[in-house]
Amino acid sequence: MNILRLIAQSKSLFSASEWRVAQIVLDSPEEVQRMTIENLAQRANVSTTTVIRFYKTLNQSSFSEFRVQLAMVIADSKISKKKIDDVKFKDLEKDDGVKGIAKKLVDNTVAAYQETIDRLSSVLVDDVCKVLHKANEIFAYGVGLSSIACMNMMQKWNSIGVRINYTADINTLLTTLSTAKKNTVLFLISNSGESSELLYVAKFAKERGLTLISLTEPSNNTLCKMSDYQLQTALSFESEYRIAESTALSAQTLIINVLFYRYVNKFEDDYTEFLKNIHGSLSDYKKGINIKGGK
């Protein structure tokens, strides 16, 4: 885990006083690494309680653990101020050229991937794979750009013979869920976790005993609270040119891909025969096209 990257990208989770602590850490990580909790509180002009809330928000159990994480980043990469700035997401500016836009897109995607990986729980991914494998039916739903992640998920699992149902129409989804079989799983994707449509669908599903898996950004959002399993991406950031939406979609896609390839890795034997049949059918189809083309 790169604790500096996590701090830089977690501004929305901090209060104003906690963010003052964060800025001092980002500006002077080597100095902070040698401080006591009292020193840091005095430097930021906040209480020690605020510093405790700050590192607890980063899932650090103690100030000592936080300083160890900080020391590891400093030792690993010899962080300079410029490198610390580089871990922050960057919005587009009006005078950005083509290469400038391309570089920011790549940098933001790499940063989002790294933070998503830092937050990824191997145990949780395995648990979700098991739930999907045992499900009688699987439904996926998301709105806006998150619907693209749903379609990606549907295509991947369908390619190995596991049917994932997706529709962009909420009325069709609710009608289908109302008669869902026992052991049905609903996979909801929402960056904010506060979409009114998704929350309604989640409530509808929970009332009918469906298992709920969510994929959101890391925050104390309503969808996470309602879910049985909570997958999380990198934190999003405010963006005048909506570049953040593309970054969020990239992080969602990463999680879906990791989940899929772990699923295949765990349950490959169950789908070997299906894949052989599919490959054989495709091969016959291509041969048929070549024969017709030759005529």
Name the pTM for this structure.
Answer: 0.69
What architecture is the 3-87 domain classified under in CATH? Orthogonal Bundle (1.10)
How far does CA 289 lie from the centroid of its chain? 42
For residue 294, the model assigns a pLDDT of: 53
In this predicted structure, the answer to whether residue 82 has a pLDDT above a threshold of 50 is: no
For residue 55, the model assigns a pLDDT of: 92
Angle between helices 48-57 and 16-27 (to 10 degrees): 80
For residue 58, the model assigns a pLDDT of: 86
Condensed to tens digits (0 to 9), the pLDDT of residues 224-238 reads 999 999 999 987 654
Three-class DSSP category at 244: helix
The domain spans of the chain are: 3-87, 119-280
The torsion angles phi and psi of 274, rounded to 5 degrees, stand at -60, -45
CA distances to 25, 84, 150, 160, 184 from 164, rounded to whole Å, are 45, 41, 9, 11, 11
Condensed to tens digits (0 to 9), the pLDDT of residues 146-162 reads 999 999 999 999 988 89
Condensed to tens digits (0 to 9), the pLDDT of residues 109-124 reads 888 888 888 888 899 9
**CATH class assigned to 119-280:** alpha beta
Condensed to tens digits (0 to 9), the pLDDT of residues 162-202 reads 999 999 999 999 999 999 988 999 999 998 899 999 999 99
Nearest to 116 by CA among 261, 257, 255, 262: 255
